[in-house]
Amino acid sequence: MSVFTGAGVAIVTPFHEDGSINYEEFAKLIEFQIQGGTDAIIVMGTTGEAATLSHEEHLEAIKFCVEQVKGRIPVVAGTGSNCTETSIYLSTEAEKYGADAVLLVSPYYNKATQNGLYEHFKRTAEAIKIPAILYNVPSRTGCNILPETIVRLCNDVENIVGVKEASGNISQIAKLFSLADGKIDVYSGNDDQIVPILSLGGKGVISVLSNVAPKETHDICQLYFDGKVAESAALQLKAIELVDALFCEVNPIPVKKAVSLMGYAAGPLRLPLTEMEPAHAETLKKAMIKFGVPVK
């Protein structure tokens, strides 16, 4: 059984001006997502600036999100690390806090061979009982999880159930679907490739776009599932300009700006991320208005 189908939001983490997590605003963002029809919340991923949070902050944010959601939709906790012991620690703690699943990014910087990736993910997943979704994003990690390795892991480890595929390589993703034979849940990790991946058999998307357009991102998926492929594709194409604006600087710089433009107190970014260039911010604002996202 899939952890979720449809659009899961890779939610931002709002900060106070002093850099601490703004939990009051975090609660508002979670409620906005649920009311907008988001199918799952992915907390403490790349978009949540997990890389700059301490382990204590990381786990506290997961715990808060689980408690705020109250079981209404699945909560997937980002618990991956380039250190296997750390990944196991974060994953076991997230399970204790009630996360429905974990998202495990491939080891970054030190990278790994395919055998190393296999052992890293296997040992992490075997330390918990909840489902694990792999996260392949070689543009950030410098490490590509090959389709054969993903299939091997899903066959050998019962609770490794799927992958967030953000390689952008449709040929590689098609090969994964071919090898998986319908046994692996694949989520698009790129908002401009939702429909292409759904067309190959994908379960949905883990989305940055959902932060500002939860209903529309959900609808791209639901329309496709309902057999309204042309309408789904049309909405996907309508979103492309906004998606491009949301990635004109490194994620999550633009999306935190977008959330702020919507009237939420998203707060500052943690270094080394810096505020968005004014020209890019103006482009983003225009794209949001054009797509119909309320701007204050």
pLDDT in tens, 100-114: 999 999 999 999 999
Arithmetic mean of pLDDT, 39-65 = 97
Taking each helix axis from N to C terminus, what angle separates 253-261 and 229-246, rounded to the nearest 10 degrees? 100
- How far is the C-alpha of 207 from the C-alpha of 204, rounded, in Å? 9
pLDDT of residue 225: 98
Q: How far is CA 55 from the centre of its chain?
A: 19
Inter-residue contact 186 to 200 (CB < 8 Å):
yes
The closest alpha carbon to 181, from 212, 149, 155, 208, belongs to: 155
Look over the chain and give the mean of its residue pLDDT values, rounded to a whole number: 97
Is residue 265, in this structure, part of any structural domain at all?
A: no
Tokens at residue 51, please? 């890389």
Active site residue 89: no
What stretches of the chain show up as alpha helix (H) in DSSP? 23-35, 55-69, 84-96, 114-126, 138-141, 147-156, 170-180, 194-200, 214-225, 229-246, 253-261, 278-291
Is residue 157, in this structure, part of any structural domain at all?
A: yes
Is residue 256, in this structure, part of any structural domain at all?
A: no
Arithmetic mean of pLDDT, 130-152 = 97
For residue 179, what are the domain limits? Answer: 6-228
Is residue 23, in this structure, part of any structural domain at all?
A: yes
Domain count, the chain: 1
Arithmetic mean of pLDDT, 118-145 = 97
Is residue 223, in this structure, part of any structural domain at all?
A: yes
Arithmetic mean of pLDDT, 2-11 = 97
- How far is the C-alpha of 169 from the C-alpha of 266, rounded, in Å? 32
Q: How confident is the model at residue 35 (pLDDT cuts 50, 70, 90)?
A: very high
Is residue 240, in this structure, part of any structural domain at all?
A: no
Looking at residue 132, which CATH number applies to its domain?
3.20.20.70
Bond before 252 cis per omega within 30 degrees: yes
Q: Express as a percent the part of the chain with pLDDT over 90.
A: 99
pLDDT of residue 254: 98
Arithmetic mean of pLDDT, 169-198 = 97
Active site residue 164: yes
Q: Which of 63, 118, 135, 187 is catalytic?
A: 135
Is residue 42, in this structure, part of any structural domain at all?
A: yes
pLDDT of residue 1: 76
Residue 296 has pLDDT above 90, yes or no: no
- pTM beyond cutoff 0.85: yes
Is residue 292, in this structure, part of any structural domain at all?
A: no
Q: Which of 28, 96, 111, 164 is catalytic?
A: 164
The closest alpha carbon to 284, from 227, 217, 208, belongs to: 208
